[in-house]
Structure 1
C-alpha cells in the first residue's frame, strides 16, 4: 500500500493534537500519518476507506485509526455541489504515546492500552456505549489543554481497552512505506471511481484516467489498494446500496440502478457476496437493530 504520507502539523507544546474541522466536505485523499487518530464524525456522511475496508459513515460515528494506517473519508456527492450548504464536521484527536517516552508502552500498567493501539492498526469502529462515551469525551477533551488533556486521553484509552464494542475493519495490518511518485495518480483514479461508480464504467475507463495500459493498471491498482478494480468498484457500489436501503423508500430495482447495476440478478449476487445477506435481509436486520436501540 503506497498512499500519501500526511504529516500532522503540531507545535512543540502539544503532545495530544486536537483538530476541530468544519468544511464543505472531508479531506478525501488516501493518506496515512505516524500518529494514532480518534476520528469523531460530528456532521456529514459518505464513504470511508480504511486499510482494505470500504463502508459508510455518518454523523455520530467514531473510529480509531492506528499509526500508518491508510485511510480517507469521502463525503457523499451532494457535499461537492457548488450550491451546497451542507457541512462536514469532525473532531480528530491525534497522538503518539511513544513521544511521552520510549519505554512508556512497556510499562505493565500500559499493557491493555498497548494491545488497543496494536488492534487499531487495522482500524476500529466503535459501537454502542463505547461510541457514545468517546463521542461525548472528544468534545470535552477539545476544551482541555496541556497535562489535563493528556491525562483525560489516557483515561479514555484505558476505558476503550476494556471495551468489547470495537469492530476491526481492515483484514490486515499495514506497514509504513516511503512516499511514492504515483501518489497523485492513485488518488485521481479513486476520485474517478467515487464520482462515477453509479455509471457503466469498466476497467479500461479507469486505465485511461491513469494513462496506463489495462494490464499495467490492474497491477498498479492492486498494489495500491490490495483489491482488484472490480472488487473495489463493487464494494463502493454495494456500500451505496446499503445506504439507500437504510434510508428506505426505494425499490430494489431503483437501488440497483442508482448503484450502477443494470442487472438485478447480478446486483443481488454481489450484494449477498459482499454483505452475507440479501437486500431484504439487510433491510430487516437494520430495522431490528434500530428498533432494539429505541
Structure 2
C-alpha cells in the first residue's frame, strides 16, 4: 500500500502526545497535562506512517500487526517501539485496549543534550525496523504511562525520559527487531494515495483471490513502476505481501482456535492445502498440524 501520512500535533510546550483507547484504536482520548482528556480519531487500522516515533501497548485483544516488511499476530501486552517514518498498521480482531505514546526528539531538541541522552541513539536506531519488547517490559512501561496521564507538564517530560530509559535498558534477549529491512514511507504526493488504496485492499481482502494485474490496475501505474514502488514501500513484493498476510492470519487460527487445518487453509486465502502446508512450513519451520500439536 502506499502510505497515509498522519499529521500529528502536540500540545503547546510538549514534544509528545499520550493516547488511550478502549474498544477500537481509531477512537482515542488524548491524555494531556493535568488530566485533561480530548477525543482523537486515529488511523491505526490503515497502513500509515508519521515523522514521530511511536510506542504502542495493547493491554487486551488480538489481531494482526504490520510493521515495515513484518507481518505477524499480536495479543495482550504486545509492546512495540516504532521509528520515524516506519509504515505500520494494526488490524484488530474485535475489541482492544491500550496506550500509544507518539514523540519527536529532533537532534537539536534540548532533551537530546542532557547527560546520558546520547545513549538513546542505539534504541532509536533499533526502532527504525520496529522493536518488540517482552511483556515484562510492557508491564513496567504501563505504570509509567499511567503516571504520565495525570501528571503536570514538567513531570510528564521527566516520565518520558524514564520510559525511554526503561526501554533502553530492557534485556536485549527480550527484544526483537520486527522488520527485516529498513522500510521508510517517504513517497511522493502523486503515488501515495494510489499505493495506499492497494495496500488497504490487500489488508482487507487477502482471504479472497487477489491478482497482481488487479493491483496494478487499482494503482493506475505501469506494471514495472507498481512492482518497484510496492517493494520500496513495503519491503517485499506484492505476492509475498499477500502470502505473508495469509500466513499470519492462518498462524493465529492454528494456534488459537480448533478449526480444521483444511478449513484454515482455504479460509485464509490459499487455493490448495498442499500450497498452504508448504508455505506455512517455509515461514514458521513447522507444518500447521505439528505446530498445533505443540500447544
Is the structural similarity TM-score above 0.5?
yes
Q: What is the RMSD computed on CA atoms of the aligned residues?
A: 2.5
- Residue 38 (str. 1) matches residue 60 (str. 2): no
Listed one character per residue, the Cα deviations across residues 102-155 of structure 1 (whole Å, up to 9, x for unaligned) are 465466622432211111111111113112222343233222231211112212
- Residue 230 (str. 1) matches residue 239 (str. 2): yes
Q: Specify whether residues 151 and 221 from structure 1 end up closer, same or farther in structure 2 by C-alpha distance, changes over 3 A only.
A: same
Q: How many residue pairs are counted as aligned between the two chains?
A: 276
Listed one character per residue, the Cα deviations across residues 204-256 of structure 1 (whole Å, up to 9, x for unaligned) are 23223223454443233223322111100110000000110122211111111
Q: Specify whether residues 277 and 193 from structure 1 end up closer, same or farther in structure 2 by C-alpha distance, changes over 3 A only.
A: same
CA distance in 1, matches of 2:102, 2:157: 11
- Residue 149 (str. 1) matches residue 166 (str. 2): no
CA distance in 2, matches of 1:4, 1:218: 19
Alignment of 1:244-283 (within 5 A): 244-283=253-292
Q: Which runs of 5+ in 1 are unaligned?
A: 77-85, 288-294
Aligned to 2:248: 239
Aligned to 1:81: none
Aligned to 2:29: none
Aligned to 1:65: 82
Q: Which runs of 5+ in 2 are unaligned?
A: 27-42
Q: Is the 8 A contact 2:2 2:194 kept in 1?
A: no
- Residue 134 (str. 1) matches residue 116 (str. 2): no
Aligned to 1:49: 66
Q: Is the 8 A contact 2:24 2:96 kept in 1?
A: yes
Aligned to 2:214: 205
SS at match of 2:71: strand
SS at match of 1:73: strand
> Which TM-score applies when normalising by structure 1?
0.83
1:185 offset after TM fit, Å?
A: 1.3
- Residue 75 (str. 1) matches residue 109 (str. 2): no
- Residue 93 (str. 1) matches residue 93 (str. 2): no
CA distance in 2, matches of 1:264, 1:2: 31
Residue range with higher mean Cα deviation, 269-278 or 38-47:
38-47
CA distance in 2, matches of 1:40, 1:202: 34
CA distance in 1, matches of 2:268, 2:201: 15
CA distance in 2, matches of 1:118, 1:127: 19
> Which TM-score applies when normalising by structure 2?
0.83
Q: Specify whether residues 196 and 178 from structure 1 end up closer, same or farther in structure 2 by C-alpha distance, changes over 3 A only.
A: closer
Aligned to 2:205: 196
CA distance in 2, matches of 1:5, 1:191: 14
Q: Is the 8 A contact 2:65 2:74 kept in 1?
A: yes
Residue range with higher mean Cα deviation, 195-204 or 18-27:
18-27
When you count helix as a share of all residues, which structure comes out higher?
1
Q: Is the 8 A contact 1:25 1:74 kept in 2?
A: no
Aligned to 2:123: 116
Residue range with higher mean Cα deviation, 86-95 or 61-70:
86-95
CA distance in 1, matches of 2:223, 2:265: 27
Q: Specify whether residues 111 and 280 from structure 1 end up closer, same or farther in structure 2 by C-alpha distance, changes over 3 A only.
A: farther
CA distance in 2, matches of 1:108, 1:282: 48
